[in-house]
Structure 1
Amino acid sequence: MLSLSIILAVLCVPSVFSDECQFTQDCNVKCEGLQDASCACRFGSCITVGHYWFGVTRTRDCEEFTDCDCSETPETCFCREGKCISDPEDKWECHNSTDCSVLEKCSDKDCTCRGNLCEFECTTVEDCIKGDFHCSRSIGSECGCEEHLCTHVDRPKQCEEISDCVELGKCTGDAPCSCDESQCVDPWYVNQSWREDYPTKNCKNAKDCNYSIANCQNDKCTCENLEKVNKYESWGECTPI
């Protein structure tokens, strides 16, 4: 079994990909499908940055780089994941947004220091939407642009359960509906390609009826007329008992 010190060493040292970038969003394609780590652009290179594994007991040596013994040399001193880093080969871009002004990529932009990286994501909310940032794909929130970073802005709450959506007129009691992230939306299966040919299919079992049909909640329906909609799945129709 790996010792904690070895685990921490592996997690704190990023591995470098190839190709150049300016900001982290430029690395999206290269880092697509990455698991158990995050992706970032550091000094023009896309890198993967590991994180502490869930359940690993650890102690924090710092909250800020000023807590570290190396703080007198801030250009090579950083607090990452609660650990002090002073390796000149593991430098990061900034401690605060003022540090970003010396980087060429920020020479004509007001970059913001986030996670020891100088980032610039937006001037307007539209930039966040066009750039396909996570906020643009969220159900419960919409995009905001603060300090040139894309942020999540909570949408007004619509529901706690699908009966609330029926009361609001967002859907009807006998049609598919979902309360997801406090918003009234179509259930996930409505947008499946097979449903174009099987528009009345809305369940694989009675649990699906409870999930997405308001009039079927509390076990008032069964799932009948199962039919194979593709090679792997059979779907039926929620039918009142």
Structure 2
Amino acid sequence: MISLSIIFAVLCGASAVPNITDKCQFTSDCRDFCRYTSDAACYCRFGTCITVLLQFWGKKATPQCKNFSDCDCRKTPKTCFCKNGKCTKEKWECHKNADCKAMKKCSGKECTCKGNLCEYECATAQDCVKGDFYCARSIGEKCGCKEHLCTGIQLPKQCEEISDCVKLGKCTGDAPCACTSNQCVDPYYVEYKWRKDHPTKNCQDVEDCNYSIANCQNDKCTCEKMVKVEENSSWGECTPKQNI
């Protein structure tokens, strides 16, 4: 079943939803299907992308189980699962890795049973990078491949604040820089398309100067020379205050 988020996107004329398919082998194949899913978890189960609504409010019921072995149906494990603390006879793919060997999609692969689903994401960490998994886009992490699943490996800490990045030579005190997830990186606004035509613009207010210019921290700069860079957005330049 397509999630309410996808239906809403289609009704609103979203241009990014053509050719969406719910066919899959593994959950990573469901990215396009899951793109508009904000109200549910999204998985690949038995060749079809499915969504499972998440509970964000209300009193949570006392869990019935932690494992299918806690359920009354445990004598028929193929139709007995513990999902979100509730016993269900709805079929899922596996209880353990060995269950995946019988699945066609795992032929020639060492699938891992994760969340009662047989998954395969990688043979090497580079597969995770090529596949654009979360670890490849996460600041402060690099990708690892563990049990054929992509995992994030924490990078060594570089900074606590942008002055640390200046000391390391990662940036200069008067240029945009950010310490994000303890890594010295470009500030978020550097990637904005308008900056190609306005390379010196780096603030909308003093807080932007404190955030991304080391020499401006502690309100040592003002944000001046504002120009309209987009229809609803104006940006200026961090300018040192006089007589500081």
1:54 CA displacement: 4.6
The residue that corresponds to 1:67 in the other structure is: 70
The residue that corresponds to 1:92 in the other structure is: 92
Q: Does 1:27 align with 2:27?
A: no
Residue identity opposite 1:114 in structure 2? K
Residue identity opposite 2:194 in structure 1? W
1:57 CA displacement: 2.8
Q: Does 1:81 align with 2:122?
A: no
Please give the residue correspondences for 1:219-234 in structure 2 after superposition, counting only pairs within 5 Å: 219-234=219-234
Aligned length: 224
1:60 CA displacement: 1.1
In structure 2, distance between residues paired with 1:124 and 1:107: 18
1:39 CA displacement: 1.2
Asked if structure 2 preserves the Cα contact closer than 8 Å seen for 1:122 and 1:128, the reply is yes
1:178-210 Cα distance to aligned partner (Å, 9 max, x none): 011110000010111101111110000111101
Asked if structure 1 preserves the Cα contact closer than 8 Å seen for 2:22 and 2:30, the reply is no
1:101-122 Cα distance to aligned partner (Å, 9 max, x none): 1111112111000000000000
In structure 2, distance between residues paired with 1:54 and 1:224: 45
1:16 CA displacement: 6.1
Aligned sequence identity (%)? 62
The residue that corresponds to 1:52 in the other structure is: 55
In structure 2, distance between residues paired with 1:56 and 1:212: 42
TM-score by length of 1: 0.90
Residues 54, 134 of structure 1: alpha-carbon distance in 2 compared, 3 angstrom cutoff: farther
Residues 148, 192 of structure 1: alpha-carbon distance in 2 compared, 3 angstrom cutoff: same
In structure 2, distance between residues paired with 1:191 and 1:35: 25
1:33 CA displacement: 2.1
In structure 2, distance between residues paired with 1:218 and 1:36: 41
1:132-154 Cα distance to aligned partner (Å, 9 max, x none): 11111111101000111000011
The residue that corresponds to 1:239 in the other structure is: 239
The residue that corresponds to 1:152 in the other structure is: 152
The residue that corresponds to 1:37 in the other structure is: 40
RMSD between aligned residues: 1.3
The residue that corresponds to 2:15 in the other structure is: none
For the residue of structure 1 that corresponds to 2:126, the secondary structure is: helix
For the residue of structure 1 that corresponds to 2:164, the secondary structure is: helix
In structure 2, distance between residues paired with 1:160 and 1:33: 35
The residue that corresponds to 1:212 in the other structure is: 212
Unaligned runs of 5+ in 1: 1-14
Asked if structure 2 preserves the Cα contact closer than 8 Å seen for 1:16 and 1:45, the reply is no
Please give the residue correspondences for 1:115-194 in structure 2 after superposition, counting only pairs within 5 Å: 115-194=115-194
Residue identity opposite 1:34 in structure 2? T
In structure 1, distance between residues paired with 2:168 and 2:183: 11
Residue identity opposite 1:171 in structure 2? C
Runs of 4+ aligned residues of structure 1 deviating over 3 Å after TM superposition are: 15-19
TM-score by length of 2: 0.88
In structure 1, distance between residues paired with 2:78 and 2:147: 24
In structure 1, distance between residues paired with 2:57 and 2:120: 30
In structure 2, distance between residues paired with 1:52 and 1:59: 14
In structure 2, distance between residues paired with 1:35 and 1:106: 29
1:120-178 Cα distance to aligned partner (Å, 9 max, x none): 00011111111111111111101000111000011111111111111111111111110
Unaligned runs of 5+ in 2: 4-20
